[in-house]
Each structure stands twice: as structure tokens, then as C-alpha cells.
Structure 1
Amino acid sequence: MKRLLPLILLLLLITSCGSSKSTSNNTYKKERTSSRTSHKAASNNIIDYARTFRGTRYKYGGTTSRGMDCSGLVYVSFGNENIQMPRVSREMAKRGTKISLSNVAEGDLVFFRTNKNSRNINHVGIVTETNGGGIKFIHSTTSKGVIESSLDERYWKNAFVQARKIL
């Protein structure tokens, strides 16, 4: 049993939050908004809500302040604005419209492949700032929990796969 524990922990670390089981209907619902102002307000609300979880520890499959994974953070933050999202990052990566980094705005999602031995997306974050060409995003990491990071950091730049506009 003692030999199995490190193996189990390694498997959890490798799969990160990308393979948590879906706990909800994967139907995509988006409230229709009539103006750019409404989109901006919704984006701000999503970001503000996500930021309330800063410092929350990482918990595989978690969606509460007691513990949260990356897709859980996106799931509850968009859900707070009545936007239903899939529960798994690789399914989230199929929603909305794929956009280039030059078109990324606050509230968009950025997707990553942190496991170089896999072709699957397994990490997601919410863009919080796009100042001067730099992109910051909030996400939950296995080592630090919910934090904000920069896409300019070498690790995230190398792991980046795509960005998507949901709103």
C-alpha cells in the first residue's frame, strides 16, 4: 500500500484538473445580451467572482472555497452569471469561438496542455487583464491553488494551446 500511494499521487498530478468527471449536464446556455456594455459587465462579474477564490487550495474535482481545480473555477465563475459550462477543461475548449491572442479580452478563456505526453488540453484559466500586450489569467494550480499568472511566464507560454471567447 505504501508503494501505491506515490504512484496515485503522481497520476493525480499528471492528469491535473483536465480529467475530472462531469457532474453536470454539458448543455451550453448563454444569456443573450444586447450590447457590448452587457458583455463587459458580465466579464467583470465573472472575473470579480473568480478573484473571490484567490488563495483557495487546489482540490481535484473541487468547486468550492474548501478546494477547487481549474475547470471548477471556470465552471462556478461562469455559472454565477447564469452561463452553463461543461465541467471539464477539454470540453470547455470546444465552446465559444476560437480567437488569436491578439484578440483576447478580459473574461475570455485560455487553454493549456501541461502534460507533454498527452495531446489533450488539461488546464484552463480566465483572462483577467490584457494591458500592453501582456495577458494575465486566474486559474487553480496543483501547487499554489487559485492564483493569477501571466501568459508571459515561460511555463504558461510553452503550454498554451488556444484562447476562446465565450461571451
Structure 2
Amino acid sequence: MQKLIVILILFLSFSSCKSSKRAKNKRQKTTKIITKKSNVIEEETSISNNKTIPSKKIITKPESIIKYAKQFEGVRYKWGGTSKSGMDCSGLIFESFREHDIILPRISRDMAKKGKKVILKNVVKGDLLFFKTGNRRNAINHVGLIVDIRDNNIEFIHATSGKGVITSWLNEAYWLKAFYEARRIL
């Protein structure tokens, strides 16, 4: 009788290990739900057996656009490019907004005609910065997306011909001199 109880206990302990292992191996997947009226994206976590567990993380549309743009950091520069194989400055902005159902013109000087002009001290994450760079200082030819603002310094993501998709600070001498205007699309 005692042997039977011991065997039963061993059997139950081995079978419980197996089921807990299976539970740990369930893959989790994050999906996004975009509520267009409020510009809020709620992330939900789903487990492989089709159960959905809502998380408490709420991401604004500007934050989601920034997150999408940042996935291109390090991508090489390619004039007219809009993918991970190569990207130019307006392609980066165009694709980041298009992914969120906001269609902008493809060229930076045309993008600068959209949205609302914002004075620099009032910019927020997700606003666009426009520049007149190089030997073409009479026309807007560069655009970046504001990703952070710290200590009155603005960090923006953009694509440069020399370094590809990078983040820079507006207070850098080159960018501050080339800065033309900021615009809010969202």
C-alpha cells in the first residue's frame, strides 16, 4: 500500500512538471489597437491559446510613430529610399506616418506645407523639423521627426547622406544654422 502511494505521488509530481513546462513555453504576442479619435494606441498581450490579456500600457500616436521610425536607426542612406535596404529623410517620415494611416507628401518641401506651424519653444514629440541645408539654402530639403526634448534641447531622427538614419540634437551648430521651421501634423 505504501509503495502504491509513493508511486502515485511520483506520478503526480512528474505530470505536474510537464504541464508547468508547457505553460511557460506559451508564446506571447503584442498587438496594437488604434483608436483614431483619441490618437491612442493600446497594447494587448495575447497568449498562444487565443486568450487576450489587456495590458495597462497606453501609447500615444506620436510615441508609436517615433517607435516605428526608430526601428530604422542605422539603415544606410538611399536617395528615394523607403525601406530597411535604404532610406532618405523624407522617406523615413513618409513611411513612419503612413504606417499609422497618415499620408504625407513624399518630398520634404511639400511636407512643410502640411499641418500647423509651431514656434520652437512649443514643439512636442512627434512634430516635424524642416531644414534648408547645404548649397540649396533657399529651399527646404531636409526633414526630421522630434523624438525627445531634454533641457531645452530637441532630439530628432532623420536620414543623412553620410551616416544614414540617426538621431541628432537641434543645438548642434550645423542643424541649428540650417533649421527653418517646425510643424505639427498630429
Counterpart position of 2:89: 70
Tell me, in whole angstroms, the C-alpha distance in 1 between the residues paired with 2:118 and 2:103: 20
Counterpart position of 1:82: 101
Normalising by the residue count of structure 1, what TM-score does the alignment of the two structures yield?
0.77
| Count of residue correspondences | 135
1:81-160 paired onto structure 2 within 5 Å: 81-160=100-179
Deviation sequence 1:91-116 (CA, Å, 0-9, x none): 00000000011011000000000034
SS in 1 for 2:176: helix
Identity %: 49
What is the Cα deviation at residue 132 of structure 1?
A: 1.7
Q: Over aligned residues, Cα RMSD in angstroms?
A: 1.6
Normalising by the residue count of structure 2, what TM-score does the alignment of the two structures yield?
0.69
Structure 2: unaligned runs, 5 residues or longer: 1-34, 42-58
Structure 1: unaligned runs, 5 residues or longer: 1-30
Tell me, in whole angstroms, the C-alpha distance in 2 between the residues paired with 1:47 and 1:124: 14
Query: Which structure has more RCO (C-alpha within 8 Å, separation ≥ 6)?
Result: 1
1:26-37 paired onto structure 2 within 5 Å: 33-34=37-38
Deviation sequence 1:23-78 (CA, Å, 0-9, x none): xxxxxxxx95347x57x611001100000000000000000000000000000000
SS in 1 for 2:60: helix
SS in 2 for 1:125: strand
Q: 1 or 2, which has the higher strand percentage?
A: 2
Larger CA Rg, structure 1 vs 2? 2
SS in 2 for 1:107: coil
